[in-house]
Structure 1
Amino acid sequence: MSKNNIWYLAGPFHQYQENVKALAKEAGLVIVDANAATSRKGEANDVPEVTIRPELKAVAVVVEAGGLSQNVVDQLTAELAAIGVIVESFAVQSLERPEGELGETAGRLFQVLEAVNAGIASLQRERDGEVEKAKLLQKQVDDLLAQAAKRDLETEESREAKEVAELKATLDAANVSYRANASKESLQKQVAELDKQ
């Protein structure tokens, strides 16, 4: 026959003032979380006394049998259902207000989530506006770069034409003939030959 040495204790275990693991070891018990256990097989009869830390004690509301009217229960059930609809619709990003009158908590939750949605929509509009500004600025930068490249090309062509004109003038002054459409390189060779003479 197996020994009953299992201490079914509600977790989490850090909620107790006592060191429950040390107590279990001293008593030769094995701790099992009572919240997760499906049975009480092997439960020990003599287990240590433990107390919940004072800062973790929840306020308990005790309702005696028949303490709530059916009307109050129906109102709470309806409000809980409305809260469920609100939360589910918010989760799928299409906030819906349930039909009928909302209770205080459901109404407040709807207002808060509606404000959150409005804030998100505002941020999205701002983001979209900034994206458009960035696109416009990028187009302006691209246009300026294209204009600068064109200007550089025109400046290079102008400089090239000026150098060719100067080479031709030098050859004209020396009474040296050259082709009218001669390249800059061939004109430079002819001028170089003049310098050698």
Structure 2
Amino acid sequence: MSNKNIWYLPGPFHQYQEDVKALAKANGLRIVDASVTESREDAADEVPGVTVKEVPKVLLIDGGSSSVDIDAFRAELEAVGLIVESFADQALIRPEGELGPIADRLFQVFEAVNAGVESLIRERDGEVEKVKALQLQVDDLLQQVEKAGQVDAEAKEVADLKAKLDEAKVPYRANASKESLEKLVADLTKA
């Protein structure tokens, strides 16, 4: 025989007019929040009926006797809408006329955001220019290294040619070109 004593009841439990905890205790039931579990294992066959409390409605306007100025609310809401739309279009525009406190503050905040973004854009553009200048310097240095490597390689070849000519006791000019030294070395191998 199974013990079906679980009352699956959607929470929160304060939304009910009845004291659901007292009802559960009186009927020998355990309450499980039905909105947090899918299982309905050991669900009780008979559970007490409960009703949800009626939420009182709050009225903003009470006929015409309210001290709330609906036209001012509408004007401010319209101003807020215009400010938000202009900001979204990336062209912040202050609406004509007097702004309410919320619209005015929103405009100030968006102005500050725009100023910050513009500052970041200027800073980024300055950094891009620095990067371009540094890249030109790097390219120039790489060319200089490549030329120096070529000059070093050529100087080594000239030194090798001169060493061969010195070994063979062949006279040559001290400032002889690489080509003339190569010719003299080639003549050595023919002889």
Q: What is the aligned partner in structure 2 of residue 4 from structure 1?
A: none
TM-superposed deviation, 1:17: 4.4
TM-superposed deviation, 1:21: 5.4
Q: What is the aligned partner in structure 2 of residue 138 from structure 1?
A: 135
After superposition, the Cα gap between the structure-2 partners of 1:51 and 1:165, relative to the gap in structure 1 and judged at 3 Å, is: farther
Identity of aligned residues (%): 41
CA contact (8 A) 1:16 1:50 kept: no
Q: 1:75-108, CA deviations, whole angstroms, 9 ceiling, x for partnerless residues?
A: 1111111111000011111111001111111000
CA contact (8 A) 2:83 2:107 kept: yes
TM-score (norm 1): 0.61
TM-superposed deviation, 1:185: 7.6
Which whole-Å CA distance do the structure 1 matches of 2:60 and 2:84 have between them?
A: 28
Match status 1:74 vs 2:109: no
Structure 1: gaps (5+ residues):
1-12, 27-45, 53-59
After superposition, the Cα gap between the structure-2 partners of 1:51 and 1:150, relative to the gap in structure 1 and judged at 3 Å, is: farther
Which whole-Å CA distance do the structure 2 matches of 1:14 and 1:126 have between them?
A: 54
After superposition, the Cα gap between the structure-2 partners of 1:91 and 1:49, relative to the gap in structure 1 and judged at 3 Å, is: same
Q: What is the aligned partner in structure 2 of residue 101 from structure 1?
A: 98
TM-superposed deviation, 1:64: 1.3
State the superposition RMSD in angstroms.
3.8
User: What residue identity is the alignment partner of 2:51?
Assistant: P
TM-superposed deviation, 1:65: 1.2
Alignment counterpart, residue 62 of structure 2, candidates 61, 64, 85: 64
CA contact (8 A) 2:161 2:185 kept: no
Structure 2: gaps (5+ residues):
1-9, 16-32, 44-48, 172-178
CA contact (8 A) 1:16 1:51 kept: no
Match status 1:48 vs 2:45: no
After superposition, the Cα gap between the structure-2 partners of 1:114 and 1:185, relative to the gap in structure 1 and judged at 3 Å, is: farther
